Structure 1
Amino acid sequence: MKTRSKIEEEYWEALERLKSGTTKSVDTKSTRFKFTKDAVGREAGRGKGYVRYERYPLLCEAIADAEEARKKNGPATPTANAKLEQQKALKQKAIGDYNQLKQEYDLLMTEYLNVVRRNFELETGLAETKDVKIIRIPNVR
């Protein structure tokens, strides 16, 4: 029986990582993820096109089997209505987040304007006393 080369072992390890979901560079959580020879090559740290059927026939068959298993066990593609409902829910969440941030912003602006008003009152109060002279320093940026 022929032993595997070091590079072929890396490809097999990459395939196992892809199957288990503990990958280093390929996102297996993506909805567009598929078991392909290129995905295995990228996970192994090599570029596209390194895994070929002529070089590694058993590996290519294992990749094809893993893709078939993913298709059978994978989640069904959502219908158009399900996608629409999901988008509506995301929109409502974004609107809620926006409204909350707007309320927080309005509160902060109110506090800021109160501080500015208080500062103005203190400055004018000091200016009215005869003992204090206010020196304005220009804003230099």
Structure 2
Amino acid sequence: MKTSQAERVYWNALERLITNTAKIVDTKSSRFKITKDAVGKEAGKGKGYVRNERYPELCEAIKKAEEERKSLAKGVPNDTAKLQHEKELKLKAKLKYDTLKKEYDLLVQNYLNILRQNFELQRELAESPHISLVKRSNK
């Protein structure tokens, strides 16, 4: 079947709406639906340009795409499930933070002990009568 250039623009707009790559229409909105007007708007036209009389195959494809979008939306969790999931993620992040903080505190403690030991060894060397330290210049 041969399609006109205008109809190809509408088909391309429908494809962008289906794949969530729309340039004009906000497909992330909770009120988004694939309609003839949304396809027309995405194609850069106004409402009412896509009609059954003009483009019957396109209108049927729009109807099928909206039905498919609705069926996929049913699998999306509701707000309560999303909130519960976010709470679980927050709890996991807090537990991980606490673990990392304990490990960090232990590492800082070990680092300070090593610095103290290094200082004591340097002091012992400096006080030792058998060893004379030569200070080097950084030139």
Q: Could you state the TM-score of these two structures normalised by the residue count of structure 2?
A: 0.55
CA distance in 2, matches of 1:77, 1:94: 22
Write the distance in 1 (CA, Å) between the matches of 2:103 and 2:26: 36
1:120 counterpart residue number: 119
Among all aligned residue pairs of Structure 1 and Structure 2, give the percentage whose two residues are the same amino acid.
42
Aligned residues: 125
Indicate the residue corresponding to 1:78 in structure 2. Answer: 78
The answer for the alignment partner of 2:133 in structure 1 is 132
Cα distance in 2, alignment partners of residues 79 and 118 from structure 1: 57
Coordinate RMSD, CA, aligned: 4.3
* 5+ long unaligned stretches in structure 2: none
Contact 2:50/2:59 (8 A) holds in 1: yes
Cα distance in structure 1, aligned partners of 2:9 and 2:93 = 44
Q: 1:78 corresponds to which letter in structure 2?
A: N
Distance (Å, rounded) in 2 between the aligned partners of 1:11 and 1:127: 86
Tell me the residue number matched to 1:53.
47
| Preserved CA contact (<8 Å) 2:126 2:133 | yes
In 2, Cα distance between equivalents of 1:66 and 1:2: 22
Greater CA radius of gyration, 1 or 2? 2
1:78-110 CA distances to partner (integer Å, 9 max, x unpaired)?
A: 254x34432331221122111121122123212
Task: Tell me the secondary structure at the aligned position of residue 100 of structure 2.
Answer: helix
Q: Is the 8 A contact 1:15 1:63 kept in 2?
A: yes
Structure 1 126/18 Cα, relative in aligned 2: closer, same or farther at 3 Å?
farther
